Amino acid sequence: MSLEVGKKAPDFEAKDQDGNTIRLSDFKGKKVVLYFYPKDNTPGCTAQACNLRDNYDALLDAGYVVLGISPDSEKSHKKFIEKQNLPFPLISDEDKTVHNLYGTWAEKKNFGKTYMGTVRTTFVIDEEGNLAEIIDKVKTKEHSNQILK
């Protein structure tokens, strides 16, 4: 399934860093920033998470709920949140179910090696649960500006 702006965002159910079940459908009536990132505590992912943290009030004022998601474990997410003082939940997708729904688990190339990994992508979802924007060229250090522009 290819996702397009204007289409319904795929609903999902997964656990956050505290083992709470998160469903996209629980946020109907709210705007959601669902951002997929490769790995906790890596330079690019930390820059992205901290940029969202530092601009969290502006995102809240604009009516957004922020949800991060990666293949890391709940335990890894909990440590990342504590270390970086992140005010939003991180969803664990170890089995890549949600990644596959959103097409963010794909073949990547780096230094001549081919491997499967997370394609850094942010989905902005409107109050009706439709895709309002898909940001596939994420600027980790100024990501909030890409969302709030």
Indicate the pLDDT class of residue 24, thresholds 50, 70 and 90.
Answer: very high
CB 37, CB 70: distance < 8 Å:
yes
Residue 39, in any domain of the structure? yes
Residue 6, in any domain of the structure? no
Count of structural domains within the chain: 1
Q: 138: closest CA among 117, 119, 114, 121?
A: 121
- What's the pLDDT at 2? 77
- The predicted-structure confidence for 85-134, as pLDDT tens digits, reads as follows 999 999 999 999 999 999 999 999 888 999 999 999 999 999 999 999 99
- What's the pLDDT at 31? 97
Residues annotated as catalytic are: 45
Residue 20, in any domain of the structure? yes
Residue 29, pLDDT above cutoff 70: yes
- The predicted-structure confidence for 36-66, as pLDDT tens digits, reads as follows 999 999 999 999 999 999 999 999 999 999 9
Structure tokens at 100: 């596959």
Residue 4, in any domain of the structure? no
How far apart CA 149 and CA 90 sit, in angstroms, is: 24
CB 87, CB 53: distance < 8 Å:
yes
Question: Domain span at residue 86?
Answer: 13-148
Residue 1, in any domain of the structure? no
Residue 2, in any domain of the structure? no
Q: In Å, what is the CA distance from 10 to each residue of 24, 44, 89, 99?
A: 8, 26, 19, 11
User: Which CATH number characterizes residue 49's domain?
Assistant: 3.40.30.10
**pTM over 0.85, yes/no:** yes
- What's the pLDDT at 42? 96
- What's the pLDDT at 110? 85
- What's the pLDDT at 45? 96
Residue 1, pLDDT above cutoff 80: no
Residue 109, in any domain of the structure? yes
Residue 5, in any domain of the structure? no
